[in-house]
Structure 1
Amino acid sequence: MQPTHAEVARTLAAGHLPAVAHIACRPGPLPVRHVIDAQGRVLLLSPAGGAVAAGLRSQPGTGDTAMVLDITDVPPVAGSPALGRVWVSGWVTRLDGDEARRAALDYAEIDASGDLLDVGESKVLHRLDVAEVRYERNDKLVEIDPDDFAAATPDPLRQIEFDLIADLAEHHLAEMSAYVRRQLGPAVQPASEPRVVRMDRYGFLVRLDDKLARLAFPRPVTDRQDLAHLLHPVLCHRCTS
């Protein structure tokens, strides 16, 4: 099993990676803070007097402002392949009053930033109504249905992926190497120690000399504790022998 394109795009756009905004008829791109809430809605947080808020201020009679949110993956460790890039396009609406307060609570569920306390004063929230999602990796561009994008859930391991990979490298290198070699079988035995370079809910990617191999978990994991439970037989092979 592997993540779907919608799941990868949703993971990249979740709000934990740097993003820039391309605003129609405005200079840019502009760095912007954002999250995608539990309902799949894109929320943008910016200074009320900043360039993003000014750029998103619609002109009289023009209605909503068109914008593209542009997010590129940042690999967790050296040697990790990038997951690609996602563009989320649509029309932006400024949120005020009760709507802004509700959106601030939704934003806080993803990123509990103290700046949310200033929404309505020095900070402003906008909502991007998604019309188009494009995902690109290795020069292949995929169009993703906005409903599929909204329904997909971000990977639960993405925020802690670096910590997980570092822990395996520092404390369980021999056990993971032995496990990978057992899984690969005698026909494929790398000269150097196999290294885990990416992880997600479905499995992990291992670097074998100059190649990459994907090993799947028996089932998708739900969180760090679930992953530890699933990996226990791998990291304690003697316990199951």
Structure 2
Amino acid sequence: MGVRQITAAVPSTAAHARSVLAAAWTCGVSTDVGQDDLVGAHCVDDDGTVRIVPPADSVLAAAVLCAPHGRPTALLEFADAAPVPVRDRVRARVWLSGELVPDGDELVLRPERAVLENRAGRVGIDLDELAAATPDPLALAEPKLLTHLADAHPEAVEQLTRLITPESLHGVVRVQPLAVDRHGLTLRLERVRGQADVRLAFHRPADDLGALTERMHCLLASAHQISRRGM
């Protein structure tokens, strides 16, 4: 018997990267002068343009002073960490490289290359596709949604495991909600050694919180039916 789940749709690579950029609060910056880890110093425009306000005492500010025309080349790193405490919390990373161009008090990245890394591997992203993509509509709400599900509704998480084959649950000691997007919910199955992720797809994409509530109720109803048949 296979895993009891609908074939899971996933976001495109560009959309996944845009979601990481939209939700990231920190940004790692590497230049010829050195490295910085900046907190709350960047923003991302609707078209995907990354803007940074370099702190006055930062390595990045020094790089601007040393670079020709005040335009340092840089590698920016954005990490996507699971809001729920699990092993290997970093779910994905996005790297953008290019030239940082002064625009008033800000530096605007002119990207030359973009790369996404997740559990499936590392892949380059077409820059036009990245600019045209939009973040997942649940990306900014995801941390609160997942922590609420894990903390307030552990019984619902346990019930959802009935959508997974018993073989896949062998040796599992803890299950946590790892990620949610418009296409589905991902559970982290932790064993004494190692872990695995299982994605439960929604029957239709959820483009707002109201739709997400309905999709979650449908998953729980399906799990309840499996529970009753197993009695």
Q: TM-score range by the shorter chain?
A: 0.7 to 0.9
Which residue of structure 2 lines up, in the alignment, with residue 89 of structure 1? Answer: 97
The CA distance in 1 between the partners of 2:222 and 2:103, in whole Å, is 54
Cα distance change, pair 145–174 in 1 and its aligned pair in 2 (3 A): same
Residue of structure 1 equivalent to 2:199 = 214
Question: How many residues are aligned here?
Answer: 211
SS in 1 for 2:22: coil
Q: How many angstroms apart in 2 are the aligned matches of 1:208 and 1:30?
A: 31
> 2 CA distance for matches of 1:200 and 1:76?
14
Residue aligned with 1:12, SS: helix
- Structure 1 CA distance for aligned equivalents of residues 189 and 110 of structure 2: 43
Structure 1 segment 160-179 matched on structure 2, within 5 A: 160-179=141-160
SS in 2 for 1:53: helix
Shift of 1:49: 6.2
- Partner SS, residue 232 of structure 1: helix
Give me the TM-score of the superposition, normalised by structure 2.
Answer: 0.75
Cα RMSD over matched residues? 3.1
1:230 to 215, 221, 230: 215
Give 3-state SS (helix, strand or coil) of 2:15's partner: helix
1: CA distance between counterparts of 2:206 and 2:218? 15
Residue aligning to 1:199: 180
Q: Equivalents in 2 of 1:70, 1:207: separation in Å?
A: 24
| Equivalent residue letter for 1:35 | C
User: Do the aligned residues in 1 keep the contact of 2:23 with 2:139 (CA within 8 Å)?
Assistant: no
What displacement does 1:187 show? 6.0
In the alignment, the residues of structure 1 paired with residue 29 and residue 223 of structure 2 have an alpha-carbon distance, to the nearest angstrom, of 52
Look up the match of 2:164: 184
Deviations 1:110-151 (A, max 9, x none): xxxxxxxxxxxxxx2111111110122348321111111112
Query: Is the partner of 2:185 in helix, strand or coil?
Result: strand
Sequence identity percentage:
29
Is 1:157 aligned to 2:142, yes or no? Answer: no
The alpha carbon displacement at 1:47 in A equals 3.3
TM-score (norm 1): 0.72
- After superposition, give the CA deviation of every residue in 1:6-32 in whole Å (9 maximum; x if it has no partner): 222222222523111112x31224536
User: How many angstroms apart in 2 are the aligned matches of 1:232 and 1:138?
Assistant: 28
TM-fit CA distance, 1:48: 5.0
Q: 1:207 to 1:5 in 2, by over 3 A?
A: same
Q: Contact 1:172–1:235 at 8 Å: present in 2 too?
A: no
Match of 1:102 in 2: none
CA pair 126-208 structure 1, distance change in 2 beyond 3 A: closer
Matched residue SS, 2:179: strand
Establish whether residue 5 from structure 1 lines up as the match of residue 8 from structure 2.
no
Return closer, same or farther for 1:28/1:179 CA change in 2, 3 Å cut-off.
closer
Name the structure 1 match of 2:27.
19
Q: Equivalent residue for 1:109?
A: none
List alignment gaps of at least 5 residues for structure 2.
1-8
